[in-house]
Amino acid sequence: MGEEGASGEDPDDLTHTDAEGAVDMVDVGDKPDTARRAVARGRLRLQPSTIEAITASEIEKGDVLATARVGAIQAVKHTWETIPLCHQIPITNVETTFDLHDGPVHADGDGDSESAVGDVDDVGSSPAVELTVAVETTGKTGCEMEALEGVTTGLNVVWDMVKSAEKDADGGYPTAQIEGVGVVEKTKRPLE
């Protein structure tokens, strides 16, 4: 024991384990309340025809982005129920932004820069739905997991809504792939 892990932290100092290695929730009771914000982003690769169908509101199941937005917000609010050691926190705001790309996904949308999340070397010309979820809270712990949960669930809802358009003759989804999910912003400030 005592070796540094990939994060540079000593595994003996992990906040979610006790001296015997048993998993416990971190006690944040003595921490001061602060205003916190986390933003996560990810994307779902899709066929060009699927992006066109979403844009034209031609998906049989209904409004893809409206349904995915509700799913993302619901996921944010219920993160503490699905991730075992997450605290139940007061969510003060959730913002969801969808961007539909008919070519390579890039941070500035011009096709010449790296993506804000992950490496775009393997994106090629794959169209994608990109989802950004911003979460705000006032409390004793951050909201990164809530933002990540919102992104992954929102993209899963999109996938569910477009399954019939994406499915190939063998019943597979050769194009559909969720990728590049990560936290792109995290802030904390004292309350005034």
> Does the structure show a pLDDT above 80 at 89?
yes
Average pLDDT over residues 14-25: 72
**Average pLDDT of the residues in 58-63:** 97
pTM (2 decimals)? Answer: 0.80
**Is 160 part of the annotated catalytic residue set?**
yes
Catalytic residue among 30, 160, 168, 170: 160
Would you list the domain boundaries of the chain? 29-190
pLDDT band at 102 (very low <50, low <70, confident <90, very high): confident
Q: Is the pLDDT score of 10 beyond 60? A: no
The least confident of 24-38, 61-75, 86-100 is 24-38
pLDDT the model gives residue 113: 34
DSSP the chain: -----TTSS-GGG-TTB-TTS-B-----TTSPPEEEEEEEEEEEE--HHHHHHHHTT--TT--HHHHHHHHHHHHHHTHHHHSTTPPP--EEEEEEEEEEESS---TTSSSSS--SSS--TTTTT--EEEEEEEEEEEESS--HHHHHHHHHHHHHHHHHHHHHHH--TTS--SS-EEEEEEEEEEEEEE--
The 10s digit of each residue's pLDDT in 146-184 is 999 999 999 999 999 999 999 999 999 999 999 999 999
pLDDT digits (tens, 9 = 90+) for 123-137: 445 899 999 999 999
User: CATH for 29-190, among 1.10.1040.10, 3.30.70.640, 3.30.390.30, 3.40.50.300?
Assistant: 3.30.70.640
Checking if the pLDDT of 118 tops 80, the result is no
